[in-house]
Structure 1
Amino acid sequence: MAKRNTITKQLILDSLKDSKTAVSQEILQKELGESVDRATIYRVLNSFCEDGIVHKILGDDGKFYFTICMNCSEKQHKHNHFHFKCLTCGKIECLPNEVDVKLPAGYQSVTFNGFISGYCSNCSSLSANSF
């Protein structure tokens, strides 16, 4: 059964695609304003995760952030990479390098959530120039 594409889903998807960073539900709520309620955003984001459209990042603040998937499908998410949060500008992004974690014999990885905090290339170059 095909899933219906609604105006609300399209608004949320467009907002995610236009974003240069992973965004939380609260950020999406502020962007979309009164046009979409909080529960609908939550439901649509989770639906997008299940469909392989977006992936969910657990931040160091305990919040979930969402970003568009690259090369994923409903049956297989490929997110064995670190996520990076800039302590200056707050941007959260996926780092491009895939990580291969060697687990002990008998263990099988299902998900990976690596999170690094620091200074992005833009903010670290700005602070280097201020000294």
Structure 2
Amino acid sequence: MAKRNTKAKQLILDSLKNTRSAISQEVLQKELGETVDRATIYRVLNSFCEDGIIHKILSDDGKYYFAVCMNCSEKAHKHNHFHFRCLQCGKIECLPNEIEVKLPEGYRSVNFNGFISGYCSGCS
């Protein structure tokens, strides 16, 4: 069954693309106001993660943030990169360098969650 592209999905995707950094569901809700309810945002974000459109980041502050994927698909997420959270402005960014982690024989990686906090170039 094909997935429909609803107005809510398009609003959420546009908002994620326009931020140019990772944002939380809470921030997304504030941006969208009354146009999309919280449950729909949660459902759409999870659907986008499953479809390889966005990826979910667990921050050192305990919150999940979402960022648009680059070159991913439903079957192959490629997110072996660190994420950076600025302690001053709160911005969360995907850092560009991919990291290769050699696992022991027989191990297979499904998720990589590397996180760094500090001060971004604009705040340091």
Question: TM-score, normalized by length of structure 1?
Answer: 0.91
Give the aligned partner of residue 112 of structure 1: 112
Q: CA deviation at 1:51?
A: 0.6
SS at match of 1:121: coil
CA distance in structure 2 between the partners assigned to 1:7 and 1:106 by the alignment = 44
CA distance in structure 2 between the partners assigned to 1:106 and 1:2 by the alignment = 36
Give the aligned partner of residue 45 of structure 2: 45
CA distance in structure 2 between the partners assigned to 1:82 and 1:122 by the alignment = 19
CA distance in structure 2 between the partners assigned to 1:52 and 1:106 by the alignment = 25
**Within-5 A mapping of 1:13-24:** 13-24=13-24
SS at match of 2:20: coil
CA distance in structure 2 between the partners assigned to 1:20 and 1:64 by the alignment = 16
Give the aligned partner of residue 85 of structure 1: 85
CA distance in structure 2 between the partners assigned to 1:76 and 1:106 by the alignment = 19
CA distance in structure 2 between the partners assigned to 1:16 and 1:116 by the alignment = 21
The structure in which a higher percent of residues are helix is 1
Q: CA deviation at 1:45?
A: 0.2
Q: Aligned residues: percent identity?
A: 81
Matched, 1:63 2:74: no
Give the aligned partner of residue 99 of structure 2: 99
**How many residues matched?**
124
Q: CA deviation at 1:106?
A: 2.7
CA distance in structure 1 between the partners assigned to 2:72 and 2:31 by the alignment = 26
SS at match of 1:102: coil
Opposite residue 70 of structure 1, the aligned amino acid is M
Q: CA deviation at 1:39?
A: 0.6
The answer for unaligned runs of 5 or more in structure 2 is none
Please report the RMSD computed on the Cα atoms of aligned residues, expressed in angstroms. Answer: 0.8
Report Cα offsets for 1:66-123 as digits up to 9, x if no partner.
0100000111100000000001110001000000112223322111000000111111
CA distance in structure 1 between the partners assigned to 2:111 and 2:21 by the alignment = 21
